[in-house]
Amino acid sequence: MAAGSVRYVRYILVAFFILAVLYFVSNSSPVGPALTIPTSKTQPADKNAQPTTKEAPNTHKISTNYDADKYPLALKPGDPGWDDLTTINSGPRMNATFVTLARNGDVWEIAKSIRQVEDRFNRRYNYDWVFLNDQPFDDLFKKVTTSLVSGKTHYGLIPTEHWSFPPHIDQEKAKKVREDMAQKKIIYGDSISYRHMCRFESGFFFRQPLMMNYEYYWRVEPSIKLFCDIHYDPFRYMHENNKKYSFVLSLYEYIDTIPTLWDSVKKFIKNHPEHIAAGNSMAFLSDDGGETYNKCHFWSNFEIGSLSWLRSKAYLDFFNSLDQDGGFFYERWGDAPVHSIAAGLMLPKDQIHFFNDIAYYHVPFTHCPTGEALRQSLRCHCDPKENFDWKGYSCTARFFDINNMEKPEGWEQEKDA
Protein backbone atom coordinates (compact mmCIF):
# COMPACT_ATOMS: atom_id res chain seq x y z
CA MET A 1 0.00 0.00 0.00
CA ALA A 2 1.32 3.48 -0.86
CA ALA A 3 2.35 5.75 2.07
CA GLY A 4 -0.55 8.15 1.23
CA SER A 5 -3.13 5.35 1.47
CA VAL A 6 -1.71 4.14 4.79
CA ARG A 7 -2.05 7.65 6.22
CA TYR A 8 -5.56 7.83 4.85
CA VAL A 9 -6.55 4.54 6.54
CA ARG A 10 -4.93 5.76 9.77
CA TYR A 11 -7.02 8.97 9.67
CA ILE A 12 -10.18 6.91 9.24
CA LEU A 13 -9.26 4.65 12.19
CA VAL A 14 -8.52 7.66 14.45
CA ALA A 15 -11.82 9.31 13.46
CA PHE A 16 -13.68 6.07 14.12
CA PHE A 17 -12.03 5.77 17.55
CA ILE A 18 -13.03 9.36 18.49
CA LEU A 19 -16.61 8.74 17.37
CA ALA A 20 -16.77 5.53 19.41
CA VAL A 21 -15.53 7.37 22.54
CA LEU A 22 -18.05 10.18 22.01
CA TYR A 23 -20.85 7.65 21.56
CA PHE A 24 -19.85 5.83 24.74
CA VAL A 25 -19.70 9.07 26.79
CA SER A 26 -23.07 10.34 25.55
CA ASN A 27 -24.81 7.03 26.36
CA SER A 28 -23.52 6.47 29.87
CA SER A 29 -25.89 6.78 32.86
CA PRO A 30 -26.55 10.16 34.44
CA VAL A 31 -24.62 10.24 37.69
CA GLY A 32 -23.44 13.01 39.95
CA PRO A 33 -21.88 13.76 43.31
CA ALA A 34 -23.95 13.26 46.46
CA LEU A 35 -25.79 16.25 47.89
CA THR A 36 -24.96 18.68 45.10
CA ILE A 37 -27.28 20.01 42.47
CA PRO A 38 -25.74 19.31 39.06
CA THR A 39 -24.55 22.35 37.20
CA SER A 40 -23.27 20.60 34.12
CA LYS A 41 -23.98 17.44 32.18
CA THR A 42 -20.57 15.91 32.83
CA GLN A 43 -20.15 14.80 36.40
CA PRO A 44 -17.80 12.54 38.29
CA ALA A 45 -18.87 8.92 38.55
CA ASP A 46 -21.01 7.93 41.53
CA LYS A 47 -19.00 5.77 43.89
CA ASN A 48 -22.18 4.26 45.27
CA ALA A 49 -23.73 3.28 41.96
CA GLN A 50 -23.67 -0.44 41.39
CA PRO A 51 -23.01 -1.55 37.82
CA THR A 52 -26.04 -1.14 35.61
CA THR A 53 -26.95 -4.48 34.13
CA LYS A 54 -28.94 -3.16 31.19
CA GLU A 55 -28.54 -0.10 29.09
CA ALA A 56 -31.62 -0.28 26.89
CA PRO A 57 -31.37 2.38 24.22
CA ASN A 58 -34.04 5.00 24.80
CA THR A 59 -35.01 5.69 21.25
CA HIS A 60 -37.25 8.60 22.19
CA LYS A 61 -35.70 11.94 22.83
CA ILE A 62 -36.11 13.60 26.21
CA SER A 63 -37.39 17.03 25.38
CA THR A 64 -39.19 19.92 26.98
CA ASN A 65 -39.14 21.88 23.79
CA TYR A 66 -41.81 20.20 21.68
CA ASP A 67 -45.05 21.03 19.99
CA ALA A 68 -47.66 19.61 22.39
CA ASP A 69 -50.37 19.91 19.71
CA LYS A 70 -48.41 17.58 17.47
CA TYR A 71 -48.45 14.87 20.16
CA PRO A 72 -51.74 15.33 22.02
CA LEU A 73 -52.22 13.57 25.36
CA ALA A 74 -55.03 11.00 25.14
CA LEU A 75 -56.80 12.20 28.29
CA LYS A 76 -60.29 10.86 27.59
CA PRO A 77 -62.02 8.36 25.31
CA GLY A 78 -62.16 9.66 21.76
CA ASP A 79 -59.03 11.81 22.07
CA PRO A 80 -56.50 11.16 19.28
CA GLY A 81 -54.39 8.11 20.13
CA TRP A 82 -56.79 6.85 22.81
CA ASP A 83 -57.22 3.45 21.16
CA ASP A 84 -53.55 2.88 20.62
CA LEU A 85 -52.26 0.90 23.56
CA THR A 86 -49.87 -1.30 21.66
CA THR A 87 -47.28 0.77 19.81
CA ILE A 88 -44.41 2.63 21.39
CA ASN A 89 -45.69 6.15 22.00
CA SER A 90 -44.26 8.51 19.44
CA GLY A 91 -44.42 11.63 21.63
CA PRO A 92 -41.60 13.28 23.55
CA ARG A 93 -40.27 11.87 26.81
CA MET A 94 -39.79 13.81 30.02
CA ASN A 95 -36.59 13.67 32.02
CA ALA A 96 -38.16 11.22 34.42
CA THR A 97 -37.65 7.93 36.20
CA PHE A 98 -39.43 5.40 38.33
CA VAL A 99 -37.83 5.02 41.73
CA THR A 100 -38.03 2.17 44.21
CA LEU A 101 -36.48 1.74 47.61
CA ALA A 102 -36.24 -1.96 48.34
CA ARG A 103 -34.38 -4.78 50.01
CA ASN A 104 -33.06 -7.82 48.16
CA GLY A 105 -35.79 -9.85 49.84
CA ASP A 106 -38.43 -7.66 48.18
CA VAL A 107 -37.47 -8.94 44.75
CA TRP A 108 -40.60 -10.99 43.97
CA GLU A 109 -42.97 -8.39 45.39
CA ILE A 110 -41.35 -5.58 43.41
CA ALA A 111 -41.38 -7.87 40.37
CA LYS A 112 -45.19 -7.96 40.61
CA SER A 113 -45.35 -4.17 40.86
CA ILE A 114 -43.04 -3.66 37.88
CA ARG A 115 -45.02 -6.11 35.73
CA GLN A 116 -48.18 -4.09 36.35
CA VAL A 117 -46.54 -0.72 35.74
CA GLU A 118 -45.05 -2.04 32.51
CA ASP A 119 -48.25 -3.68 31.28
CA ARG A 120 -50.46 -0.72 32.06
CA PHE A 121 -48.05 2.04 31.03
CA ASN A 122 -44.31 1.83 30.68
CA ARG A 123 -43.95 -0.74 27.91
CA ARG A 124 -45.07 2.07 25.56
CA TYR A 125 -42.80 4.71 27.11
CA ASN A 126 -39.67 2.86 28.33
CA TYR A 127 -38.85 5.21 31.19
CA ASP A 128 -35.83 4.38 33.36
CA TRP A 129 -36.05 2.83 36.80
CA VAL A 130 -33.77 3.62 39.74
CA PHE A 131 -33.52 1.12 42.59
CA LEU A 132 -32.08 2.20 45.93
CA ASN A 133 -31.04 0.09 48.88
CA ASP A 134 -29.09 0.48 52.13
CA GLN A 135 -27.38 -2.85 51.30
CA PRO A 136 -25.80 -3.78 47.94
CA PHE A 137 -28.34 -5.26 45.55
CA ASP A 138 -27.62 -8.89 44.76
CA ASP A 139 -27.48 -10.44 41.30
CA LEU A 140 -30.92 -12.01 41.54
CA PHE A 141 -32.55 -8.66 42.32
CA LYS A 142 -30.73 -6.97 39.46
CA LYS A 143 -31.38 -9.77 36.99
CA VAL A 144 -35.11 -10.07 37.71
CA THR A 145 -35.85 -6.34 37.77
CA THR A 146 -33.74 -5.61 34.70
CA SER A 147 -35.54 -8.30 32.76
CA LEU A 148 -38.90 -6.71 33.58
CA VAL A 149 -38.20 -3.00 33.09
CA SER A 150 -38.46 -1.79 29.49
CA GLY A 151 -36.21 1.25 30.12
CA LYS A 152 -32.73 1.49 31.62
CA THR A 153 -32.22 0.22 35.16
CA HIS A 154 -29.87 1.72 37.72
CA TYR A 155 -28.94 0.39 41.16
CA GLY A 156 -27.69 2.66 43.93
CA LEU A 157 -26.26 1.99 47.37
CA ILE A 158 -27.43 4.52 49.95
CA PRO A 159 -24.55 6.14 51.85
CA THR A 160 -24.51 5.46 55.60
CA GLU A 161 -25.05 9.15 56.47
CA HIS A 162 -28.49 8.94 54.82
CA TRP A 163 -29.46 5.78 56.66
CA SER A 164 -28.33 6.23 60.25
CA PHE A 165 -28.91 8.31 63.36
CA PRO A 166 -27.73 11.89 62.92
CA PRO A 167 -25.26 12.90 65.67
CA HIS A 168 -27.70 15.15 67.53
CA ILE A 169 -30.06 12.27 68.34
CA ASP A 170 -30.00 11.07 71.94
CA GLN A 171 -29.80 7.29 71.56
CA GLU A 172 -31.16 6.53 75.02
CA LYS A 173 -34.19 8.71 74.48
CA ALA A 174 -34.82 7.14 71.06
CA LYS A 175 -34.52 3.63 72.51
CA LYS A 176 -37.01 4.42 75.26
CA VAL A 177 -39.48 5.68 72.66
CA ARG A 178 -39.17 2.44 70.68
CA GLU A 179 -39.77 0.39 73.82
CA ASP A 180 -42.85 2.45 74.76
CA MET A 181 -44.25 2.20 71.23
CA ALA A 182 -43.69 -1.56 71.21
CA GLN A 183 -45.72 -1.80 74.42
CA LYS A 184 -48.48 0.27 72.90
CA LYS A 185 -48.33 -1.99 69.83
CA ILE A 186 -47.90 0.93 67.45
CA ILE A 187 -47.22 -0.45 64.00
CA TYR A 188 -43.44 -0.37 63.25
CA GLY A 189 -43.15 1.53 66.58
CA ASP A 190 -40.14 -0.52 67.71
CA SER A 191 -38.40 -0.55 64.33
CA ILE A 192 -35.15 1.31 63.72
CA SER A 193 -34.99 0.47 60.01
CA TYR A 194 -38.52 1.77 59.41
CA ARG A 195 -37.45 5.09 60.91
CA HIS A 196 -34.36 5.23 58.69
CA MET A 197 -36.63 4.45 55.74
CA CYS A 198 -39.06 7.28 56.60
CA ARG A 199 -36.25 9.78 57.11
CA PHE A 200 -34.58 8.68 53.87
CA GLU A 201 -37.81 9.03 51.87
CA SER A 202 -38.43 12.41 53.51
CA GLY A 203 -35.04 13.94 52.95
CA PHE A 204 -32.62 11.98 50.83
CA PHE A 205 -33.99 9.82 48.00
CA PHE A 206 -34.25 12.77 45.62
CA ARG A 207 -30.59 13.74 46.05
CA GLN A 208 -29.02 10.33 45.58
CA PRO A 209 -26.47 10.58 42.77
CA LEU A 210 -28.51 8.39 40.43
CA MET A 211 -31.51 10.71 40.83
CA MET A 212 -29.66 13.96 40.28
CA ASN A 213 -30.13 14.40 36.55
CA TYR A 214 -33.84 13.58 36.54
CA GLU A 215 -36.59 16.14 36.85
CA TYR A 216 -39.61 13.94 37.71
CA TYR A 217 -40.03 10.73 39.67
CA TRP A 218 -42.73 8.14 40.09
CA ARG A 219 -42.41 6.17 43.30
CA VAL A 220 -43.29 2.47 43.21
CA GLU A 221 -43.34 0.11 46.18
CA PRO A 222 -43.38 -3.68 46.28
CA SER A 223 -46.79 -5.43 46.11
CA ILE A 224 -48.78 -2.56 44.63
CA LYS A 225 -51.40 -3.01 41.94
CA LEU A 226 -52.48 -0.86 39.01
CA PHE A 227 -56.00 -1.64 37.88
CA CYS A 228 -56.57 0.46 34.76
CA ASP A 229 -54.79 1.26 31.51
CA ILE A 230 -52.89 4.51 31.48
CA HIS A 231 -53.50 6.14 28.12
CA TYR A 232 -51.22 9.14 28.44
CA ASP A 233 -47.88 10.02 29.94
CA PRO A 234 -48.43 11.28 33.52
CA PHE A 235 -44.95 12.82 33.56
CA ARG A 236 -45.95 14.93 30.56
CA TYR A 237 -49.19 15.84 32.29
CA MET A 238 -47.18 17.07 35.28
CA HIS A 239 -44.83 19.05 33.07
CA GLU A 240 -47.45 20.65 30.81
CA ASN A 241 -49.69 21.59 33.71
CA ASN A 242 -46.92 22.81 36.00
CA LYS A 243 -47.76 20.23 38.69
CA LYS A 244 -45.15 19.52 41.34
CA TYR A 245 -46.78 16.82 43.45
CA SER A 246 -49.53 14.27 42.92
CA PHE A 247 -51.43 11.54 44.72
CA VAL A 248 -54.13 8.89 44.32
CA LEU A 249 -55.05 8.13 47.94
CA SER A 250 -55.27 10.34 51.00
CA LEU A 251 -56.18 9.57 54.60
CA TYR A 252 -55.76 10.53 58.25
CA GLU A 253 -52.42 9.79 59.93
CA TYR A 254 -52.17 7.68 63.07
CA ILE A 255 -51.66 10.43 65.66
CA ASP A 256 -49.48 8.36 68.02
CA THR A 257 -46.75 8.35 65.36
CA ILE A 258 -46.65 12.16 65.03
CA PRO A 259 -47.80 13.82 68.29
CA THR A 260 -45.46 16.85 67.96
CA LEU A 261 -45.06 17.04 64.18
CA TRP A 262 -47.41 20.00 63.86
CA ASP A 263 -45.56 21.91 66.61
CA SER A 264 -42.41 21.52 64.53
CA VAL A 265 -44.27 22.64 61.43
CA LYS A 266 -45.55 25.74 63.21
CA LYS A 267 -42.03 26.55 64.32
CA PHE A 268 -40.88 26.23 60.70
CA ILE A 269 -43.70 28.49 59.48
CA LYS A 270 -42.65 31.11 62.02
CA ASN A 271 -38.96 30.87 61.13
CA HIS A 272 -39.48 30.72 57.37
CA PRO A 273 -42.53 32.70 56.34
CA GLU A 274 -40.80 33.28 52.99
CA HIS A 275 -41.35 29.60 52.08
CA ILE A 276 -45.09 29.56 52.65
CA ALA A 277 -46.90 29.79 49.29
CA ALA A 278 -49.74 32.17 48.59
CA GLY A 279 -52.87 30.18 47.78
CA ASN A 280 -51.61 27.07 49.60
CA SER A 281 -53.60 24.05 50.81
CA MET A 282 -53.62 24.86 54.54
CA ALA A 283 -57.36 24.10 54.51
CA PHE A 284 -56.52 20.52 53.51
CA LEU A 285 -54.24 20.15 56.54
CA SER A 286 -56.00 22.13 59.22
CA ASP A 287 -59.59 22.93 60.17
CA ASP A 288 -58.67 25.95 62.29
CA GLY A 289 -56.44 28.00 60.02
CA GLY A 290 -53.23 26.26 61.06
CA GLU A 291 -53.61 26.05 64.84
CA THR A 292 -53.92 22.24 64.81
CA TYR A 293 -53.27 19.49 62.27
CA ASN A 294 -56.28 17.50 61.13
CA LYS A 295 -53.91 14.62 60.19
CA CYS A 296 -54.85 14.60 56.49
CA HIS A 297 -52.06 13.51 54.21
CA PHE A 298 -51.43 12.15 50.74
CA TRP A 299 -50.33 8.53 50.82
CA SER A 300 -46.75 8.64 49.65
CA ASN A 301 -46.23 5.03 48.61
CA PHE A 302 -47.59 6.36 45.29
CA GLU A 303 -46.19 9.70 44.19
CA ILE A 304 -45.39 11.37 40.91
CA GLY A 305 -43.55 14.56 41.65
CA SER A 306 -40.96 17.14 40.79
CA LEU A 307 -37.46 16.37 41.98
CA SER A 308 -36.35 19.96 41.60
CA TRP A 309 -39.09 21.01 44.00
CA LEU A 310 -37.81 18.48 46.57
CA ARG A 311 -34.29 19.77 45.95
CA SER A 312 -35.38 23.39 46.38
CA LYS A 313 -34.16 25.53 49.29
CA ALA A 314 -37.72 25.70 50.62
CA TYR A 315 -38.15 21.93 50.84
CA LEU A 316 -34.62 21.36 52.19
CA ASP A 317 -35.08 24.04 54.85
CA PHE A 318 -38.31 22.31 55.83
CA PHE A 319 -36.73 18.85 56.00
CA ASN A 320 -33.67 20.10 57.91
CA SER A 321 -35.83 21.91 60.42
CA LEU A 322 -37.91 18.78 61.11
CA ASP A 323 -34.82 16.57 61.17
CA GLN A 324 -33.24 18.85 63.75
CA ASP A 325 -36.30 18.46 65.98
CA GLY A 326 -35.66 14.71 65.99
CA GLY A 327 -39.20 13.38 65.50
CA PHE A 328 -38.11 10.76 62.97
CA PHE A 329 -36.52 9.01 65.98
CA TYR A 330 -38.23 10.44 69.09
CA GLU A 331 -41.61 9.68 67.50
CA ARG A 332 -42.12 7.82 64.23
CA TRP A 333 -42.78 10.53 61.68
CA GLY A 334 -43.70 9.09 58.29
CA ASP A 335 -42.60 10.50 54.96
CA ALA A 336 -46.26 10.73 53.91
CA PRO A 337 -47.25 13.51 56.34
CA VAL A 338 -43.86 15.17 55.82
CA HIS A 339 -44.22 15.34 52.02
CA SER A 340 -47.90 16.23 52.29
CA ILE A 341 -47.44 19.09 54.73
CA ALA A 342 -44.57 20.42 52.63
CA ALA A 343 -46.67 20.29 49.45
CA GLY A 344 -49.70 21.66 51.24
CA LEU A 345 -47.88 24.70 52.61
CA MET A 346 -45.12 25.45 50.15
CA LEU A 347 -46.88 24.87 46.83
CA PRO A 348 -49.82 26.83 45.49
CA LYS A 349 -52.93 24.64 45.50
CA ASP A 350 -53.04 24.18 41.76
CA GLN A 351 -49.61 22.53 41.71
CA ILE A 352 -50.94 19.43 43.51
CA HIS A 353 -52.74 16.94 41.31
CA PHE A 354 -55.12 14.07 41.99
CA PHE A 355 -54.63 11.34 39.35
CA ASN A 356 -58.16 9.99 39.26
CA ASP A 357 -57.43 7.77 36.27
CA ILE A 358 -54.47 5.95 37.87
CA ALA A 359 -56.21 3.13 39.75
CA TYR A 360 -54.04 1.84 42.54
CA TYR A 361 -53.76 -0.51 45.48
CA HIS A 362 -51.32 -0.64 48.36
CA VAL A 363 -52.42 -2.75 51.27
CA PRO A 364 -55.04 -2.05 52.61
CA PHE A 365 -56.48 0.75 50.43
CA THR A 366 -57.72 0.98 46.85
CA HIS A 367 -58.27 3.90 44.56
CA CYS A 368 -60.73 2.68 41.90
CA PRO A 369 -62.03 5.52 39.67
CA THR A 370 -65.64 6.48 40.29
CA GLY A 371 -67.98 5.99 37.32
CA GLU A 372 -68.71 2.81 35.41
CA ALA A 373 -68.20 4.32 31.97
CA LEU A 374 -64.76 5.61 32.95
CA ARG A 375 -63.72 2.29 34.48
CA GLN A 376 -64.77 0.40 31.38
CA SER A 377 -63.05 2.77 28.99
CA LEU A 378 -59.86 2.36 31.04
CA ARG A 379 -60.32 -1.44 31.14
CA CYS A 380 -60.09 -1.45 34.94
CA HIS A 381 -60.23 -4.63 36.96
CA CYS A 382 -60.88 -3.08 40.39
CA ASP A 383 -64.09 -3.55 42.36
CA PRO A 384 -65.73 -0.10 42.74
CA LYS A 385 -66.97 -1.16 46.18
CA GLU A 386 -63.35 -1.11 47.31
CA ASN A 387 -62.84 2.51 46.29
CA PHE A 388 -61.59 4.40 49.33
CA ASP A 389 -61.92 7.95 47.94
CA TRP A 390 -65.29 8.85 49.44
CA LYS A 391 -65.14 6.78 52.64
CA GLY A 392 -65.08 8.54 55.98
CA TYR A 393 -61.40 7.88 56.62
CA SER A 394 -60.28 9.38 53.30
CA CYS A 395 -59.32 13.05 52.90
CA THR A 396 -59.95 13.12 49.15
CA ALA A 397 -63.41 14.75 49.44
CA ARG A 398 -61.74 17.54 51.41
CA PHE A 399 -59.17 17.95 48.63
CA PHE A 400 -62.01 18.31 46.11
CA ASP A 401 -63.78 20.82 48.36
CA ILE A 402 -60.82 23.11 49.00
CA ASN A 403 -60.05 23.14 45.28
CA ASN A 404 -63.69 23.72 44.27
CA MET A 405 -63.57 20.56 42.19
CA GLU A 406 -66.77 18.83 41.25
CA LYS A 407 -66.90 15.28 42.59
CA PRO A 408 -67.48 12.59 39.95
CA GLU A 409 -70.99 11.39 39.33
CA GLY A 410 -71.82 8.46 41.58
CA TRP A 411 -69.47 9.43 44.41
CA GLU A 412 -72.28 9.55 46.95
CA GLN A 413 -73.11 5.90 46.35
CA GLU A 414 -69.54 4.99 47.24
CA LYS A 415 -69.63 6.63 50.70
CA ASP A 416 -69.70 4.45 53.83
CA ALA A 417 -72.82 2.34 53.97
Binding footprint of ligand GTP on the chain (CB under 6 A): 100-103, 106, 133-134, 193, 197, 221-222, 301, 363
Q: How far apart are CA 152 and CA 126, in angstroms?
A: 8
Active-site residue, from 201, 303, 331, 414: 303
Q: How far is the CB of 149 from ligand GTP (least distance, A)?
A: 16
Q: Which does 106 bind (CB under 5 to 8 A by kind): Mg ion, ligand GTP, none?
A: ligand GTP
Q: How far is the CB of 219 from ligand GTP (least distance, A)?
A: 8
Task: Determine whether 22 is exposed, middle or buried from the number of CB atoms within 10 Å of its CB (0-12, 13-18, 19+).
Answer: exposed
Q: How far is the CB of 291 from ligand GTP (least distance, A)?
A: 28
Measured from the CB atom, the residue of 71 and 252 that comes closer to Mg ion is 252
Q: How far apart are CA 240 and CA 380, in angstroms?
A: 26
**Angle formed by the axes of helices 192-203 and 313-325, to 10°?**
160
Measured from the CB atom, the residue of 301 and 306 that comes closer to ligand GTP is 301
Q: By beta-carbon distance, which residue lies closest to ligand GTP?
A: 193
Burial 131-167 (b: 16+ CB within 10 A, else e): bbbbeebeeebbeebbebbbbbbbbbbbbeebbebee
* Subset of residues 10 to 69 that bind Mg ion, contact rule: CB under 5 A: none
Measured from the CB atom, the residue of 192 and 282 that comes closer to ligand GTP is 192
Shortest CA distance to 356 belongs to which of 370, 373, 376?
A: 370
Q: Which does 151 bind (CB under 5 to 8 A by kind): Mg ion, ligand GTP, none?
A: none
Q: How far is the CB of 115 from ligand GTP (least distance, A)?
A: 16
Q: How far is the CB of 301 from Mg ion (least distance, A)?
A: 5
Q: How far apart are CA 280 and CA 165, in angstroms?
A: 33
Measured from the CB atom, the residue of 334 and 344 that comes closer to ligand GTP is 334
Measured from the CB atom, the residue of 197 and 251 that comes closer to ligand GTP is 197
- CA distances for 218 relative to 40, 42, 81, 136, angstroms: 24, 25, 23, 22
Q: Which does 394 bind (CB under 5 to 8 A by kind): Mg ion, ligand GTP, none?
A: none
- CA distances for 171 relative to 178, 182, 209, 223, 269, angstroms: 11, 16, 29, 33, 28
Query: Can residue 229 be called a binding residue for Mg ion (CB under 5 A)?
Result: no
* Subset of residues 206 to 225 that bind Mg ion, contact rule: CB under 5 A: 221
Q: In what order do the strands lie in the sheet with 216-219?
A: 49-50, 153-157, 128-133, 96-101, 216-219, 303-306, 245-247, 352-354
Q: Which does 303 bind (CB under 5 to 8 A by kind): Mg ion, ligand GTP, none?
A: none
Q: Which does 358 bind (CB under 5 to 8 A by kind): Mg ion, ligand GTP, none?
A: none
Sign, CA torsion 246/374/395/364: negative
Residue 147 is classified by DSSP as: H
Q: How far is the CB of 364 from ligand GTP (least distance, A)?
A: 8
Q: Which does 62 bind (CB under 5 to 8 A by kind): ligand GTP, Mg ion, none?
A: none
Measured from the CB atom, the residue of 221 and 317 that comes closer to Mg ion is 221
Measured from the CB atom, the residue of 106 and 389 that comes closer to ligand GTP is 106
**Position 333, amino acid:** W
The stretch near Mg ion (CB under 5 A) out of 195-203, 274-282, 300-308, 340-348 is 300-308
- 3-class secondary-structure state, position 225: strand
Q: Which does 325 bind (CB under 5 to 8 A by kind): Mg ion, ligand GTP, none?
A: none
Q: Is 55 a catalytic residue?
A: no
Q: Are 330 and 322 in contact (CB under 8 A)?
A: no
Shortest CA distance to 334 belongs to which of 258, 410, 393?
A: 258
Q: How far is the CB of 164 from ligand GTP (least distance, A)?
A: 12
Q: How far apart are CA 191 and CA 334, in angstroms?
A: 13
Catalytic residues: 303
Q: Residue numbers of the site for Mg ion (CB under 5 A)?
A: 221, 301
